[in-house]
Structure 1
């Protein structure tokens, strides 16, 4: 279990995203004229520079591509790709919603939105598949299976992910707690009995949720197991976790792209189902009986009768009831 860290250490970790700016400030006096132009542009327009290749950045600033590459190495990076990753870390926690909208509209033409967004999502899933730690995934499965109680927390845009995970976990376990909250105090009230026999799964992507982080800190202080689903090894969510699942997300878009995290959650659900096949089968059989007995889906689902679809709603449903003699 990772040891508890102080708020001071957390703030220091968050300040790592400013490493690029610190390097620029330290090296500025020894830079050439072209490199100083690059420094000024990046400092003022990092939200746009992050999406530019070395060639395009050079054209925007008015310097050669080789000057851009030398600029990256002058700052201590092994090349432009490593410099661009540092730039991504800077942008990750600094873009607000308005800036993200401006950046996205500047990148995508109206006619290419569908292709661009779907292709971007596909690339994030591919990147996640290539980089996710299989050992961490297996460890997460073992922790969840052995937990007395499972707590799941996801705030704001991550709330649907937490809800999705909770829905399917409830088919496999009888000890799942989806944390609903509008304040930190409510979180702690729902977690007051968490112990070393339990696990909390925290889901958070930029911009990171302080309430989720505090919930994970509280669980860590109670010696509970902590699993995080986040976007980077540099995420502050990893400070309190003993098992980190990394999934790529879109840190500069009008909406958060969470398809890769959802795929990881799907993989967790499928893997857990495989480990608990008999229990899951019994639960599903019981649910089918309940659904049939109480006609859960009869009035709001499509019924297939004699290879024809019959929609049971509105006037059609009323006519059926009248013809059968059933009182409305």
Structure 2
């Protein structure tokens, strides 16, 4: 649809909405800014309706889905500087201070809610996997590549591809005894869910790293590693959540090496030795 004011669209179509949809409309009209950041699951709980009603509401307004509606609402309700920094901006701070403070807070929030036992169990699954598949799309692909860069040092059998169709081909080869780490900030992308479904259907153990632990993707994971979403889920890949994800991947790497013992150290030293030969 041609992009118009989300607020205007709600008001102009208000009389065509059902009673439950009007409940959503009333909440958003009263709290437009506060309606942007929560996930569809969180906002549905807050309003007291189902997720499916939220989707029907967005489509009745003319949007292809709830995410498209939320982006339209964000452009209207969130000041442009907050859309850039993904947090409320203090005018006394410069850009560098704002970004660093937001990243530090995100790390603290992630660590505070992190289930350390789940992290240890996840590391054990990866250490004992026949093959490890490292996957993610868009900005999450950068995280998957970082995980590949770390875990290949251990000598474990790791598979990674940067392009969706190549990842889908890898997923088609997965089998029982394999483990996939699938990374997604929102956990709602169609292509990401297609990867998860293919891995699941092939009996591959699925580990999900996400900011949205109530997403459709998270519900498919055998293990779910959650990172704080920061102040906003509007941007497709929150840079503060990315930092926390990288640190969490580092934690898995260290735990895997601890589990592997001398074998892991030997493999690591082999890698260091061959790299050292290429240095002056």
> Same fold by TM-score, threshold 0.5 exceeded?
yes
Structure 1: any 5+ residue segments left out of the alignment?
Answer: 1-20, 29-35, 52-73, 78-89, 299-328
Q: Report if the CA contact (8 A) 1:162-1:203 is conserved.
A: yes
Shift of 1:233: 2.2
Give, in whole Å, the separation in 2 of the partners of 1:91 and 1:47.
Answer: 15
User: In the TM superposition, what is the alpha-carbon distance from 1:226 to its structure 2 partner?
Assistant: 0.5
Counterpart of 2:113 (choices 131, 137, 147) is 131
- Cα offset, 1:271, TM superposition: 0.9
The Cα of 1:264 is off from its aligned counterpart by 1.0
- Give the match for residue 278 of structure 1: 262
- Is the CA contact 2:187–2:215 (under 8 Å) kept in the aligned structure 1? no
Residue 243 of structure 1: CA displacement? 0.6
Give the corresponding residue for 2:191: 211
Cα 1:223/1:255, change in 2 over 3 Å: closer
Aligned runs of 1:6-155 on 2, under 5 Å?
25-26=22-23, 39-42=28-31, 45-46=32-33, 94-95=70-71, 99=75, 102=80, 103-104=82-83, 107-108=88-89, 109=91, 111-155=93-137
Does residue 181 of structure 2 align to residue 201 of structure 1? yes
- 1:120 and 1:91 map into 2 onto residues whose CA distance is 24
- Give the number of the structure whose alpha-carbon radius of gyration is greater: 1
More contact order relative to length (CA 8 Å, sep ≥ 6): 2
Offset at 1:27? 8.2
CA shift for structure 1 position 240? 1.6
Whether the aligned pair in 2 keeps the contact of 1:194 and 1:222 (CA below 8 Å) is yes
- Distance change >3 Å, CA 141–CA 110, structure 1 → 2: same
Q: TM-score, length-normalised on structure 2?
A: 0.69
| Cα distance in 2 for residues equivalent to 1:180 and 1:163 | 8
* Aligned counterpart, 1:229: 209
TM-score normalized by the length of structure 1: 0.60
Q: Does 1:267 align with 2:251?
A: yes
Q: Say whether residues 1:249 and 2:229 are aligned partners.
A: yes
Q: How many residues in Structure 1 have an aligned counterpart in Structure 2?
A: 230
Moved over 6 A (4+): 90-93
